[in-house]
Structure formats: structure tokens, C-alpha cells
Structure 1
């Protein structure tokens, strides 16, 4: 007889029976999973497809990682202390370097394991059951997940195809005033549409959020790679603005997750209270220091992106597709009744992959990341062959 099934352990026998014989519902039937979690499904993202040579579904810097990354990797590998010891849980040195570079206080900076981790944390400190988050749509799919986990609700501000998915600022401001959301998420440049709102437009949204007492979370993951990038860091002086950035995309190091946010000191303090310890590994912390001032590298990258974006835009139009004007390092494309999934099936035969926008609610649209010229030419030639028979 097992030790837990005897007469002196009736409670343990009951637990075993409850877990193993719960009308086929398993642990969920036992009520161990929170109701808010049960309906949540992982978001679909670009990348990670087997057999892909040229991945246009991810939108990283087409120049690839800068030389400073290789040098940092060599230095890190030559010093075993970086592997033996725990990393600094507060990422103090990266925070200092970012603060000096951005002209803010170190207490106004938080470094994370990619921008997505930081975006995940924000609703943890703000959303209570029944609170509402307002999100433009289509946009990055991860914003609403933590809101729902915390018992909040998500309201989507629909961007119109008739208006080329451009943001109507007045309409968005009215919705903020009517809904009175706890958080407003703004992806700038927006993913997947590529629209990058200028300072005056963003300031209008900031003022609306200030009036309703809402957080405004500005996700600038792609801003470094835009020709129109502008300095937004001073917006945190409003107190309710949180700005999130991704070094992963700017410097093409997706395998090493690095992101940071800047915000009011009180917001940073609250975020630190929910942050898991040692969330940024020692190597990533070293890379922050070597990357943060790579402005010349970013300028060269933007010049390449603008040149290749113009080439792709023209070629896609010649294929009778409809590309949308973009301020980012990717282009949203209307495939005119063809599903992106079916086109990807054919492209995969050539080892090429584009971003199917079905997860954005746009199954007949694709997002194409800008790559080097020879890669872009290969994509165009592959699309020509496919569209001849589609």
C-alpha cells in the first residue's frame, strides 16, 4: 500500500482521486486555472519557420548585427566570471548608459528581456478587474494579453482600410474621452501598417490621456529604423507616458533579447516591484553598453532601408499588388483576394517566407520586412512566378 493511501492519510487519497478522476476535465475541472487565463491563446509572430533561407516575416535591421556585437561576444566568452556569477538584477550599468545617452535619469530607465517582457509587465501594475485598455487595430498582438490576464477588457480602435489604415487622431481622441481607458497602447511606427505619427499628433494623444487619467504606452520598437524618427523621451515628464524600445530590432540581435523603457520614477519603481529577478542575462547587459550609442550604424541602416523600400514598393506595384506607404522597415501589402498563407506555401518551396497578416485580422495581406538588395530581388522574382498562376 502506498504511504499516502492508508487510513491515516485520507486527505491525500482524496486529492489523488480529485486530480485523476475529475470527469475528464483534469486540473482545469478542479478550478486550478484562473478563468481569465483559460481562453488566452499565444499570439502568432514572424520567424521560427523551418527551412527558410530568406525570412521577410521578421523586421530586423537589414545590415545585420554591428561589429561591436562580435567583439563583445569574444570578450564575454574569454571571461568565465560572466557565466559563473548571477547578472546584476537591476541592470545598473545598462541603465546608467541608457540614461546618459537619452538625457534622462537612471531612475527613469528599466531594462528588460526584450521589449515584449516590458510591455507584458505594464498591466501588472495598473490593470484591475473591469479596467479597459484601448488599442488601435491592426497593431501588435501582445498588448492585450496581460490586460485580459489581470481581469481587464480590451477595446479596439479600428483603423480603416478605406483610409489606408491611417490613424484618425480626432476620432482616436474622442474614443479615449468616451471609454476612459486605464491604458492606451500606441505602436509608433505601427506594426504592421508602418505609419509613424509625428510629435504634434502624439502630443494631442498625450493630452487626451492626461485628461482621462490614462497611461499612454508608446511602443517605439521600430522607431530607430525610421527616417522620420524624433526625440520623444521628454514626454515622460507628463507622468503618465511610458516609452518602450527594442535594441533587438535596431541592431539585428533577436537571439539575445534586449529592450528598455523610460518613464516617471514612480512608474519605474512600481515595475521593479513586479519584475522577476535576473531578468536580463549578463551577456545582454554587456551588449547594451556597446550598442546604445550606435547612431552612425543606425543612420547607415536607415539609408539602406529607404533605398530598398523604394525598390520593393515599385516592384510590388508592378506585380499589381497594393503596397502601403510605410515609415518603418517593412511594407504592408494588399494581396487582392489571395491568402498570404497560400502564397507562403509556394514561397517556402524557394526557402522564402513573408509575414501572413491573418493574426492581425488581415488574411489577404502580408507584411514584408526590408532586406538587402539581392534578397529583395529574389523575393520579387519568386512572387512574379507565383502570381502568374494565382
Structure 2
């Protein structure tokens, strides 16, 4: 059993594979190519692979693949009887690009979705996976008992019905994302990567480390993600910041300018 994972990406894939004694091949995304994920490069590394993990948009880099690009990989892994786990935890701003409706007739595609990011429900620890009937039947036998609590089930049922909230939140986040990206791009000492999710990926160009910056901002009540524990970003000069309200975003911008000046 062998899996392929692009890096840097969400660590839990690696942890889950290690816990199940599955060996891992890493496809390193290059900084000079803006951490772009190449479908052709993934396909070139599929020999001997049984399982591929792909996060779209990627966490923490925010790089995004359009549906027609991923479809090339979906067809190729299906042809080779390789399983593809497509993590769409941050795709809510691009719902039209989701593969949720494509799993029905594909026994080698499994789509993961989170309900804690877009809906702001981190404490509930709730998400869902979608696959073909045949694949779900296999996975049911591996599922841990009581994997979702009853309170989470009730809340999820209600929030998914609230189409007004979904539409309003999507419009708000798209607007604030562009504002934050534009303003961050004007701060000296930062390299800003174009966001596709409700967070922005940044490189620190000065002497301050991501850990030190995190400590400085925490003193002002601002929490950022130090990305130095992501495989491939160990040098300690990358961070991820969330898209918040205009007031909170302005506070973040002000403190970043102060610390980096």
C-alpha cells in the first residue's frame, strides 16, 4: 500500500496514513512556481500508487485547481483503479467547482467537506464525506462508533437549510478576501499569495520568523497560523491569516505594519 501527497498540505493525511502503516510518496510543490499543483506531475508519479490525497483549495498555500484540471486526474486514477481522496474543506467560495455530484458513478473518488470553516462551527468538529454506494458500504465497516454527536447533527441540519446565510456569507467573504489581499500586498516585508479560500498565505521577507511574529501579534489579541510545522515549510517564514470582519482585518494590517516596520 502506497499513497501520494503533494506538500505542503494538511498534515492529517500523513498522520492517518502513518497510523495505518501506509508508505507515502511526497510530491514537493515548488516555491518558485508559487506552490502550484501540476496535475501532469501527479500523473507522472502514479506508478505503484494506490491512493492519492488532494486538497483543493490547498491548505495552507491557497492554490486552487479548476474542475476541468482535476477531472483529468479523476479519469486517470479511475482508469488505473487508484483511489483519490479530494478534500474540499475550503471550497465554499467556489461551490460550482465541487466534485460532490461526480462521485455517484465513480468507485475510486471520495470527496471530503468541512462544516467548521465556512459556517464558523469549529467546536462541533463536524464534516462529511461523499462517495459511491459501493465505496460508502466499504467505509461503513471501518468507521469508529459514535463518530458524530447528536448536537452536531441537529446544528448541521439547520445551517444547511439557511440559504440566506450561505449567500450572505459568501458575498461578505469574497469582498473581504479581496480587500485583505490587496492591502497585504502593499505591506513591505511580505510576499502575498493570491487567495482562493477564506485565508491568505504569506511569506515573511525580513529577519523575523513566523514563530516570533505569531508571538508578537498574540500580545495584541491576534492569532495567526505559523506554518513552520507544515512539511515543506520548515524554514519558518510562512504564515496563514484568516479573512475576518473589516474591523478585525484593519487591526491585523495595522499590527503587521507595526511589527514589520
TM-score after normalising by structure 1: 0.63
CA distance in 2, matches of 1:193, 1:374: 24
- Aligned residue pairs total 255
Matched, 1:246 2:114: yes
- Structure 1 residue aligned with 2:245, among 359, 365, 372? 372
Deviation at 1:354, TM superposition (A): 0.7
CA distance in 2, matches of 1:296, 1:214: 39
CA distance in 1, matches of 2:186, 2:108: 45
Match of 2:170, SS state, is: helix
CA distance in 2, matches of 1:220, 1:334: 24
Match of 1:202, SS state, is: helix
Deviation at 1:342, TM superposition (A): 0.8
1:131-210 map, 5 Å:
131-176=1-46, 178=47, 180-210=48-78
**CA deviation digits over 1:354-375, x for unaligned, max 9?**
1001011322010111000000
**Residue segments in structure 2 that go unaligned for 5+ positions in a row:** none
Residue matched to 2:196: 327
Deviation at 1:318, TM superposition (A): 1.6
Higher normalized strand content (fraction of residues): 2
CA distance in 1, matches of 2:126, 2:185: 36
CA contact (8 A) 1:228 1:327 kept: no
Residue matched to 2:154: 286
Residue matched to 2:101: 234
- Structure 2 residue aligned with 1:218, among 66, 86, 105? 86
Larger Rg: 1
Deviation at 1:228, TM superposition (A): 6.0
Using CA pairs under 8 Å that are at least 6 residues apart, name the structure with larger relative contact order, 1 or 2: 1
RMSD: 1.5
**CA deviation digits over 1:57-106, x for unaligned, max 9?**
xxxxxxxxxxxxxxxxxxxxxxxxxxxxxxxxxxxxxxxxxxxxxxxxxx
Match of 1:353, SS state, is: coil
TM-score after normalising by structure 2: 0.93
Deviation at 1:141, TM superposition (A): 0.5
CA distance in 2, matches of 1:171, 1:315: 34
Higher normalized helix content (fraction of residues): 1
Residue matched to 1:382: 255
CA contact (8 A) 1:227 1:302 kept: no
